[in-house]
Structure 1
Amino acid sequence: MNNDGQLHESVVVNLFRCSNLLERIGRKLVSEVGLTSVHQWFILSALSGGDLSLKQLGLNTHVTKQNMTGMVERLKMGGFVVTYDDAGDKRSTLVRLTELGKDTLATLERFGTLSDRACIDRLRLEELASFNGCLLKLIDNMNED
């Protein structure tokens, strides 16, 4: 394997390693606020900008509609979100954060900020901005496939 191939492989492996570590940290944080998965945090975060349809939530979080429906139902049972029919399209279900959902998200953001600072503050702002740009490009490229 040439150096380019080794570098690509190394990047992929390191992304998975980073993902596993973030998942471990995230599971600990969400368990402290009564959520059962990191994906539920992603859903609450996606809803922080306003109500979204199940379809849009799935697109924003890269979760299938079938899985999204189950996750939203569990969030609903926990009192974190409510659902309602879209007045403009009766086939579409919209999801909204409850006050508990908003409070939970605010707590998670505080936890996340404290946790992020432990590792992210070690990077210069320019490094962090460059890294974020690279991640966004990778996400866009993977979405094209």
Structure 2
Amino acid sequence: MKQDEQLHGNIVVNLFRCSNLLERLGRKLAAEAGLTSVHQWFILSALADGELSLKQLGLNAHVTKQNMTGMIERLKQGGLVATCEDPEDRRVTRVRLTDKGRQVLARLDSFDAFGQATTLKHLCTEDLSSLNRCLQRLIDHMNDG
């Protein structure tokens, strides 16, 4: 049991270390793409599959509705997203990517832009898929808690 606890502690510490390094790299890449924060990148990524409500975006990015409203306004000013009323509930604001937003996201999400500056390029597709699945399960479990 002690060995498992130590392993869990090491994993958490390494995730924090990795997070700090990714945050630093993410800020640089986001700035190069004209974004003011990594959170803007998160929002664009969340909208990649279609429009979402402000509430859904807030839950996805783990930020308050007030913070999400401000971030969406800045993205709108940059021409990266557009908003509209939900046709079924006028109290709900829906957000979608614009063509410009899709272009920025494509640049940010390209493996070349991110892979060249990280060690991801040293992992095979099977390892990357496994890592992605494990991280997603961890995130899902933490969201449930």
- TM-score where L is the length of structure 2: 0.90
1:17 and 2:17 aligned: yes
Deviates more, 1:33-42 or 1:51-60: 51-60
Which residue is equivalent to 2:52?
A: 52
Which residue is equivalent to 1:41?
A: 41
1:32 and 2:48 aligned: no
Structure 2 Cα separation of the partners of residues 50 and 71 of structure 1: 18
Which residue is equivalent to 1:121?
A: 121
What stretches of structure 1 of length at least 5 have no aligned partner? Answer: none
- TM-score where L is the length of structure 1: 0.90
Q: Secondary structure at the match of 2:94?
A: strand
Q: Secondary structure at the match of 1:94?
A: strand
Which residue is equivalent to 1:8?
A: 8
Structure 2 Cα separation of the partners of residues 45 and 19 of structure 1: 18
CA drift at 1:124: 2.5
Q: Is the 8 A contact 2:107 2:113 kept in 1?
A: no
What are the Cα deviations for residues 14-46 of structure 1, in whole angstroms up to 9, with x where unaligned? Answer: 001101111111101110121000110111111
* Matched residue type, 1:36: T
1:77 and 2:77 aligned: yes
Q: Percent identity?
A: 62
Structure 1 Cα separation of the partners of residues 99 and 129 of structure 2: 33
Which residue is equivalent to 2:87?
A: 87
Q: How many residues align?
A: 144
What are the Cα deviations for residues 77-110 of structure 1, in whole angstroms up to 9, with x where unaligned? Answer: 2221111111210110011212221221122123
CA drift at 1:127: 2.1
Q: Secondary structure at the match of 1:90?
A: coil
What are the Cα deviations for residues 34-83 of structure 1, in whole angstroms up to 9, with x where unaligned? Answer: 10001101111111211111011122222222221111111112221111
